[in-house]
Structure 1
Amino acid sequence: MSIYNNILVVANINSDDQPALARAMQLASKSRSRSHVTFFLSIYDFSYDMTSMLSVDERNAMRKGVIHQREQWMRTVAEPYINDSIEFDVVVVWHNRPYEAVIAEVYAGNHDIVIKGTRKHDVLESVIFTPTDWHLLRKCPAPVLLVKNSDWPENASILASVHVGSENETHQSLNDSMVEQLNSLSERLGAKPYLVNAYPVTPANITIELPEFDPTTYTDAVRGHHLTAMKALRQKHGYDDEQTIVEQGLPEDIIPESAQKLNAAMVIIGTTGRTGLSAVFIGNTAEHVIDKINCDVLALKPEGYISPLDPSTAI
């Protein structure tokens, strides 16, 4: 499992406050081995490529000048966060698609995790995910941590949204990976870990189409199946029953509600089950859950996931 010692942080160009960098340094400082943090920015100005009055060399010189200015700014805003015990560097690239630049850097630098700040909506205290966020969640081969606040709350918890009702090996393997990440992050950040699972409500149309169908018996059977599967998962990883939640309802309702009740500072989400062309998309359920979560979100891919931007698959 990854222990997140080679961290890529995406800079927020619109602010001197860098919560993603704060979280990265927090994780790195509590690692048992020496960590490396790369502070990354992708910039692009269309006007520099369209100025026909300038030669190629002049355009390149202007780009280098802009990149140098950004590097200087990044080193300045990073100063309050830097820890001498952590290796730190700054990378600025010229690229017109930020998410592609980030993913290219993940491959080039063999990074364990990408950490990026999200925009907070001041009125509802909710998070607004940008197009770059969604592209990274869908296509980045490394885990993606989207950070809301730089401060880690007191007595916080971390939730893993596990899918225990499935016999699918991909889901089961991802559940194990999520719990391992949950254990590591909870220890490093001083948080209490919880496993959360939502199981479906009995479809109303079944009771109408099948008069002899007993919805209560069916619901009890489904709940029993999920409770048994959750028990097996928690016992496998040494969790107490009090650290597990199994509730009836939609994941996009149960997970955010549980996160709020348990003072969650982070929710771990799995993005599973897609192959071929649809592999570039995370499932609708995960998207709906992420949209409603009012805290940090860590998105994990299943083992063997291949990004559509993997340079080894390029023709």
Structure 2
Amino acid sequence: MSIYSKILVVADINHDEQPALIRAIQLAEKSRSRSRITFFLSIYDFSYDMTSMLSSDERDAMRRGVIQQREQWMRTVAEPYLTDNFDFDIKVVWHNRPYEAIIAEVFSGQHDIVIKGTRKHDVLESVIFTPTDWHLLRKCPSPVLLVKNAHWPKDASILASVHVGSEMESHIDLNDKMVEQLQSLSERLDAKPYLVNAYPITPANITIELPEFDPTTYTDAVRGHHLTAMKSLRQKHGFDEEQTVVEQGLPEEIIPQTAEKLNAAMVIIGTTGRTGLSAVFIGNTAEHVIDKIDCDIMALKPTGYVSPLDPKEAV
């Protein structure tokens, strides 16, 4: 069971409604242990640092004044949602790169999860991911939950996009982490959990290059392998067969289609993060899937992931 005892919520300075805060409170109030929510904002105004007419002390005083104003606004927008069921902090920092400030806070506060709202296109209802969103997905060491809507729909489902075709230890471990998150989230948000896997289409050029190649037999063998691997995963975690989907096709097509079909309010994605400085990448497949999903997204890093912003790496 995943424990969210320290939840970092990124405030949306452009709106009074805070979907990320609402989702965090939903999770905190159903936690088995008392949670602490930190409502966080990174602000920066270039003009305060470049005003040569002001002394250093005067610029510091102006920054403190802006920070205090933001803190007061955050208290005001959070007040309607606060209860005695969790602890609550507000933190505002002055930083010119929001994603760096957020990840620095993850390290210093040892937060279990980052929750942030995403922009929603009013006409198409599609999610627009900001540069900060993408930086967090790529570089944040903790799970990142990007929230589209404050309202959690009735009879919703949560999907975990698992990769069951691989026998690599890192993929097996990441699948287990995703399923554990799925179980925890679906229980707390009263949703139906599903495991979804896409397996590849037989390349057409193989049939041309190898006349004796039987694509039907090959496709059946690939599907059989994925079904067997999915059965092993679901049984390991106590899922029924009805809670699994194994489809042929590209993940960036199958996952969004399945999410829409099953009324998914959230999709959990495992990123094929690398360690060290190359960890800025989250994998082409994951990026394409994320771009096409029209609901909340949770991204998980594999065990052993090292963020390029880890302060230990700078030593």
TM-score range with shorter-chain normalisation?
Answer: over 0.9
Question: Which blocks of at least 5 consecutive residues in structure 1 are unaligned?
Answer: none
Partners of 1:228 and 1:150 lie apart in 2 by: 38
Partners of 1:10 and 1:115 lie apart in 2 by: 6
Give 3-state SS (helix, strand or coil) of 1:245's partner. Answer: strand
Aligned 1:225-240 pairs, distance under 5 A? 225-240=225-240
The yes-or-no answer on 1:263 pairing with 2:255 is no
Give 3-state SS (helix, strand or coil) of 1:14's partner. Answer: coil
Partners of 1:173 and 1:20 lie apart in 2 by: 28
Partners of 1:5 and 1:235 lie apart in 2 by: 28
Alignment correspondent of 2:158 = 158
Alignment correspondent of 1:203 = 203
Partners of 1:136 and 1:59 lie apart in 2 by: 30
- After superposition, the C-alpha distances for 1:272-305 in whole angstroms (9 at most, x for unaligned) are 1524432111001001100111110000001111
- After superposition, the C-alpha distances for 1:43-83 in whole angstroms (9 at most, x for unaligned) are 00000111111111011000000000000000001111111
RMSD: 0.9
Cα distance, 1:86 vs structure 2: 1.1
- After superposition, the C-alpha distances for 1:209-258 in whole angstroms (9 at most, x for unaligned) are 11111111111110000000000000111111000000000000000111
Q: Which amino acid aligns with 1:138?
A: R
- 8 A contact 2:39–2:89 mirrored in 1: yes
* Paired positions, count: 315
TM-score (norm 1): 0.98
Alignment correspondent of 2:177 = 177
Give 3-state SS (helix, strand or coil) of 1:27's partner. Answer: helix
Question: Which blocks of at least 5 consecutive residues in structure 2 are unaligned?
Answer: none
Cα distance, 1:106 vs structure 2: 0.4
- 8 A contact 2:276–2:306 mirrored in 1: no
Cα distance, 1:107 vs structure 2: 0.7
Alignment correspondent of 1:251 = 251
Partners of 2:231 and 2:36 lie apart in 1 by: 37
Partners of 1:274 and 1:109 lie apart in 2 by: 23
Partners of 1:40 and 1:250 lie apart in 2 by: 37
Q: Which amino acid aligns with 1:11?
A: A
- 8 A contact 1:251–1:285 mirrored in 2: yes
Partners of 1:222 and 1:158 lie apart in 2 by: 26
Alignment correspondent of 2:217 = 217
TM-score (norm 2): 0.98
- 8 A contact 2:274–2:305 mirrored in 1: no
CA 1:112 to 1:260, structure 2 compared with 1: closer, same or farther past 3 Å?
Answer: same
Q: Which amino acid aligns with 2:286?
A: A
Q: Which amino acid aligns with 1:49?
A: D
Q: Which amino acid aligns with 2:81?
A: Y
Alignment correspondent of 1:308 = 308
Partners of 2:243 and 2:161 lie apart in 1 by: 12
Cα distance, 1:32 vs structure 2: 1.3
Partners of 1:176 and 1:311 lie apart in 2 by: 28
Alignment correspondent of 2:110 = 110
Partners of 1:280 and 1:273 lie apart in 2 by: 8
Partners of 2:276 and 2:23 lie apart in 1 by: 34
Alignment correspondent of 2:149 = 149
Give 3-state SS (helix, strand or coil) of 2:91's partner. Answer: strand
- 8 A contact 2:42–2:93 mirrored in 1: yes
Cα distance, 1:121 vs structure 2: 0.7
Give 3-state SS (helix, strand or coil) of 1:303's partner. Answer: coil
- 8 A contact 1:157–1:192 mirrored in 2: yes
Cα distance, 1:266 vs structure 2: 0.6
Partners of 1:301 and 1:83 lie apart in 2 by: 32
Partners of 2:127 and 2:286 lie apart in 1 by: 15
Give 3-state SS (helix, strand or coil) of 2:253's partner. Answer: helix
Cα distance, 1:110 vs structure 2: 0.6
Partners of 1:60 and 1:2 lie apart in 2 by: 41
The yes-or-no answer on 1:66 pairing with 2:77 is no
Q: Which runs of 4+ in 1 moved over 6 A?
A: none
Q: Which amino acid aligns with 1:313?
A: E
Cα distance, 1:205 vs structure 2: 1.1
Partners of 1:101 and 1:42 lie apart in 2 by: 6
Q: Percent identity?
A: 83
